[in-house]
Structure 1
Amino acid sequence: MALTMSDVDRFETSRPRLEAIAYRLLGSASEAEDAVQETFLRWQATDVDRVEVPEAWLTKVLTNLCLNQLTSARARRETYVGQWLPEPLLAGDPMLGPADTAEQRESVSYAVLVLLERLSPAERAVYVLREAFDYPHREIARILDISEAASQQILHRAKKHVAEGRARTEVDEAAARRVVEEFLTAATSGRTEPLVRLLTADAISIGDGGGKVPARAKAFEGAVAVAKFMRGLFTPGKAKRDLVGGSPEVHATTANGGPAVVAVVDGRVVGILCVEVTAEGIAAFRNQVNPDKLERATRRWAAADHGAPLFRAF
């Protein structure tokens, strides 16, 4: 049965919410878009007049598509070249979804998206639907074909796993931005000591190049090792300029609601460094340089007013 314009409009009204759910579940904007498009095709193929609650029907179809995707994604990531990190989203991207509560903001933070990779698909789905979108356990149970009690138990496990990975208290946004600006000043000073002072003793640095851009397969661990790497990362060099196609403009901004450093060459985002700032200092750098995971960021960057760069790197 062909969809009417009203049927299409009903789906399009739900699209932003569906994309935000899919992104949190999959950690990939491109895969989220594909899942939402497949949901539309399922909507197009069904007798929509028999769907009593379109929002619930669409959410159930999307969530189960994402669960299937997560199962296959785990197998694919076993052969992924180097470290796998989620696709970061720049400030203002509608796929970030609601940010009215602390739980909603945390559920899409880059650090939590990384932690969600440790959860089972079911744990991830319950956590996202409950924490980010405030679905009652009764509805989550219907979406996942489980009992309400099972949904509550799964959420408890998921929150425990996430909490274990986020033991430190984070600082407010203004303070975090000041720390990032101090970091950039230290990183371009050519000295290691100022960087070490900004880091926690067990700081880490992880990069995702997807086999297309050089990135160390193993994380740097410890303040000194991370500081030396960051100093080298911001040290000028022709090889670096040749690799990215020029001298990047460096901006301090936000990605996934947290502080980030964005490197841009001729309007193209070539790297997003997500910085995890805690009360004790910078605990983690997660550097996304895989060009496949920066296409949406580049489009967002072109459409936004981002001001003048802080400096040119390399």
Structure 2
Amino acid sequence: MPRYQHARVLRAALAAVALTAAVVGETAVGRALADRGAEETGRSALARAAMVQARDVPEGRASRAEAARRGALSGRPVGGPPEAPAVPGARPVADRAHGPELPAAAILRRLPARLDRDGATILIGSGRAPVTVTLYEDYRCPDCRRFEQAQGETLARLVADGTVLIRRVIESSLDVRLPGIGAQRAANAARAALASGRFPLYNAALYANQPPERQDGYTVARLLKIASQVPGLRGAAFDRAVRSQRYASWVRASQRVYDRYDRRVHSGTPGMEVNGRVVDLEKRMDLARDPEALRAFLLAAARD
């Protein structure tokens, strides 16, 4: 073959190789760009979904919606089980957006509550119960919180089975000795919960979320946030009653009932009477701390 023809053939072959390489490279680049575009589209869709979720969920769940949005933007799966604890043997921290889980919440939601005929005390349970337990408590009192945490579930079960009628006297005299009027605000909110038919569970939630005694921690905002734990409680009427101290006169009437008891007994809070007889919880500390002791005591009273 002449030299010039050989050169032409060689140049044609090289051109064909270059053209093939370019086509292959362009195809690979196009596929990579398409894959990346699909990935970005998927991430954008997840982000949009998370943003819609954050807009539609209640306020108390906003933190979880934000976590979902961040997960979508980072490409990590949204939702699913919590990650394993970083510290061996540690347990994941529970979601506290709606406050701590309340003992016997399902029972408390079903208990009937009403205002007593005196217009100042609250009755929980059946009027045909053989045992009436009168409790004198202050929402700001740490000892009352300890009593409710130890014995609240036992009392709720005894009310539910018809053994006990609870008569609650809510006082607020700690506001006289401590800064602020948190106890009065909490008592007013409890009375508003009674008007809304949600008192037993809200009463328990107030103690479960009790602020430090010396802080004026029962603010309107805190009381409304606690109410969000109680299904069906938040609404225009309840919120307005909490903000306006609508039941301030009832708070004073309930305080007068407590004052008469305190002048007679001088026991402070929590105080207890069973079928009209005073129970000294300082001498019978087991009745304030031991659920089985309290249950046996009240069942014995039912047999008397």
TM (normalized to structure 1)?
A: 0.29
Q: Which has the larger radius of gyration?
A: 2
- Say which structure is richer in strand: 1
TM (normalized to structure 2)?
A: 0.30
